[in-house]
């Protein structure tokens, strides 16, 4: 394996496959990448994906649409000052979807179960924190996430940190 890496590295320097990337060699990434991989959204890694059929693309687009719709529904409920129970339920769904993606879970998390039981660590907490900041506009800390007793607790913390909505 190491000898092949050296061989490809030398060949890339003398006879580059792509002159624009002659100085770059990526190893340790399986081919082809599975659908839904985090690398899929990065254009630099697009050749690693095989588009088997339009059905797969439609399924992935549909899952992305469902996630975006869940976020939009949550924000709409928050802006319309929905009752706390409804808002927590919607928030749990949104966070559950993101944790499933981040942790690569095949089934939804149990909202009352400890996050550490699912393998939430500081690295996954950073990913979720960044996603929450971008998608929901809320500043959670990694400690907020790792110290949360459950999805319910984390969602309540998230809602408490959301900006105040002005009544129009």
Whether residue 135 sits in one domain with residue 60 = yes
Range of the domain at 31: 2-48
Identify whether residues 63 and 11 lie together within a single domain.
no
Instruction: Check whether residue 43 and residue 60 sit in a common domain.
Output: no
In a domain, 168, yes or no: no
Query: Worst-scoring range by mean pLDDT, 3-12, 71-80, 94-103, 123-132?
Result: 3-12
Domain termination site, one of 48, 63, 78 = 48
Q: Is residue 11 included in any domain, yes or no?
A: yes
Q: Is residue 128 a contact partner of residue 145, using CB atoms and an 8 Å limit?
A: yes
- 60, 44: one domain: no
- Identify the pLDDT of residue 20: 62
Query: pLDDT tens digits, residue range 117-139?
Result: 999 999 999 999 999 999 898 99
> For the chain, what is the domain count?
2
* Cis peptide leading into residue 16 (ω within 30°): no
CATH code for the domain of 106: 1.10.1200.10
Range 72-75, long-range pairs (CB < 8 A, 24+ positions): 74/136, 75/136
| Residue 44 pLDDT > 90 | no
Q: Are residues 62 and 130 in the same domain?
A: yes
Find out whether 134 and 121 touch, Cβ atoms under 8 Å: no
Cα 58 to the chain's mean position, in Å? 19
Residue 166 placed within a domain: no
Q: Which of 48, 63, 85 is at the close of a domain? A: 48
pLDDT of residue 29: 67
Q: Please provide the average confidence, as pLDDT, over all residues in the chain.
A: 80
pTM for this one?
0.62
Residue 157 and residue 121 share a domain: yes
């Amino acid at each position: 394996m190491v000898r092949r890496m050296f061989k490809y590295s030398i060949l890339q320097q003398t006879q580059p496959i792509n002159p624009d990337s002659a100085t770059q060699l990526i190893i340790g990434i399986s081919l082809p990448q599975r659908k839904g991989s985090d690398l899929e959204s990065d254009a630099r890694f697009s050749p690693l994906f095989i588009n088997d059929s339009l059905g797969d693309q439609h399924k992935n687009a549909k899952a992305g649409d469902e996630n975006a719709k869940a976020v939009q529904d949550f924000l709409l409920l928050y802006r319309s000052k929905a009752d706390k129970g409804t808002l927590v339920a919607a928030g749990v769904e949104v966070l559950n979807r993101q944790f499933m993606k981040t942790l690569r879970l095949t089934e939804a998390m149990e909202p009352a179960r400890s996050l550490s039981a699912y393998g939430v660590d500081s690295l996954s907490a950073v990913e979720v924190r960044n996603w929450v900041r971008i998608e929901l506009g809320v500043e959670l800390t990694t400690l907020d996430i790792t110290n949360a007793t459950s999805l319910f607790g984390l969602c309540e913390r998230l809602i408490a940190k959301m900006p105040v909505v002005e009544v129009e």
